[in-house]
Homo-oligomer: A and B are copies of this chain.
Amino acid sequence: MTDQPNLPPGVSASQLATALKRFETALGADAVLSDQASLAEFYDPYNLPSRTNFKPSAALFPTTVEQIQEIIRIANEAKTPLWTVSQGRNNAYGGAAPRLPGAVLVHLRNMNRVLEIDEANAYAMVEPGVRFFDLYEAIRAGGHKLMISVPDLGWGSVIGNTLDHGFGYTPYGDHTASQCGIEVVLANGDVLRTGMGAMRGNRAWQTYKKGFGPTPDGLFMQSNFGIVTKMGMWLLPTPECYMSCYASVPKEADLEALIETIRPLVLDRTIPNYPIVGNVLGAASQTSRRKDWYNGDGPLPEPVLDDMTKKLNCGRWNMRFALYGHETIVNTQYKIVQAAFAKLPGATLGGRKYAGATMAQDVPPSDRIQAGIPGLDILNMVAWYGGDEGGHLDFSPICALKGAEVVRQTQVVRGVVESFGLDYCAGIIIMPRSALQICLLNFDKKDPAQVDRAFECCKALVVAAAKAGYGEYRAHLEVMDLVAEQYDFNDHALRRFNERMKDALDPNGILSPGKQGIWPKALRKARS
């Protein structure tokens, strides 16, 4: 860390000023911010000033690919590190803030065109600034019979979420799997299109994922190897019928049986979407705050959790899933699910059917997300401890979709969380063969000791999970290096490989240094 927190390492104040002048010439003065007051919008939203500095030195707002090429040219010449965000709304992991203090933010929110919507082949091509809200509106405005997949919060970028391995909840909920074709600006300024887009005038770019030869798309996700400027996303044709379903089991110990009940149903796509299974605290935090239930220190005692379960009239574990398609098939799928749940003692099951094209105002908020209707309702969860000044940090490991595995992983996570005196709040996204546990480490930003505890807890979780055989799918800026460190097969072969890619593609190390633990050569000082 440097005395002037907003200068990147090795860049003097006058060098930065010169670079900013050049950025202004290239983009216009309105597209360059460098006063601290304006930049505060882009700080890690839930971190404390007393903690690590992840502040940018400036922010740039390009509107075209050519401007991004120009930014890259200047950054290479001035050796100014950049940090790219699409909307920068990934708040549980650091928001828009750069991993490297002083990096210049390349904020893509003004590149926000929906470039194409094709109903016959059910895809959209978008720019990075397009939010889930925007894509939803564009599809409605065009009258297209298409349903998008949205994550819990609709304010994020479709591209940003996908590049960071994001999930939604329709059958297209695995967003990286729904991506088809990207355009990316490389660190040498070259514009690359992948798949069929690598051929001028090709007519199948957004309909077939591969091209001729290797497919590099995955290289540009969760990485710092390029700046993605266009992406195709496959969409669900609006189904005749959408059925939003709920299930629950009464006891903590029922989780294993619940997972084993749904495992074959998601594997054979009787349940075709990405369900989520949350604990009672997950349910409680969406509609209430901790003080409504308990005022003591330490994790919530079991009797309080039982009390919650009773009063909220829910289960210790609660599942949301959905069915989509021809109504007769949806009815049959639901009957198959009913038969499976009938064997699960104490389980509840229910569902509500809608026409697939139902408008947002006709669907209660709780049933909107699975219908691809974006919202912000879930934000309330963050207020658990701190109310309006609540914050959170997410810890998110993957495991195989087997009852015993999911239970084992939740026990490892809960044990560590509670050992730090925090409440265990978890939602488990169910994929056909694996599960992604999102453990919300909520805290009160007015309580610096609790904020520190949440971050230290997160670090302890990373190490404990790896020891138990689980890796994370994402990480907050502050734990990126630690998470990457756990991927240690063959003495960190993956890191060596990533660093070789980084050196080959970005020898000056200007693109998002430190992202996902990948550092350019000059900044690898910590490792020997």
Q: Which residues of B contact A348 (CB under 8 A)?
A: none
Q: Which residues of B contact A291 (CB under 8 A)?
A: none
Q: Which residues of B contact A398 (CB under 8 A)?
A: 196, 204, 207-208
Do A207 and B434 have beta carbons less than 8 Å apart? yes
Task: With CB as the reference atom, state the residue of chain B lying closest to A402.
Answer: B120
User: A155 near B: Cβ within 8 Å?
Assistant: no
Do A490 and B220 have beta carbons less than 8 Å apart? no
Q: Which residues of B contact A212 (CB under 8 A)?
A: 222, 471-475, 483-484, 486-487, 516-517
Do A203 and B473 have beta carbons less than 8 Å apart? no
Q: A176-B210, A219-B219, A402-B121 are in contact. Are A469 and B201 (CB under 8 A)?
A: yes
Instruction: Write the nearest CB–CB distance from A13 to chain B, whole angstroms.
Output: 33
Do A217 and B218 have beta carbons less than 8 Å apart? yes
Do A490 and B193 have beta carbons less than 8 Å apart? yes
Q: Which residues of B contact A469 (CB under 8 A)?
A: 199, 201-204
Q: Which residues of B contact A192 (CB under 8 A)?
A: 490, 493-494, 497
Copies of this protein, total = 2
Interface size on A, residues (CB 8 A): 96
User: A3 near B: Cβ within 8 Å?
Assistant: no
Interface residues of A (CB under 8 A from B): 120-123, 165, 176-177, 180, 186, 190-194, 196-204, 206-223, 225, 234, 237, 239, 263-264, 267-268, 270, 325-326, 328-329, 332-333, 336, 398-402, 405, 431-434, 436, 466, 469-475, 483-484, 486-490, 493-494, 496-498, 500-501, 503-505, 516-518
Beyond the given A176-B209, A329-B332, please list 16 additional residue pairs across the A-B interface where CB-CB is below 8 A. Answer: A192-B497, A202-B469, A204-B470, A206-B433, A207-B399, A208-B400, A212-B484, A212-B487, A213-B222, A213-B498, A214-B219, A215-B221, A216-B219, A218-B219, A234-B433, A329-B333
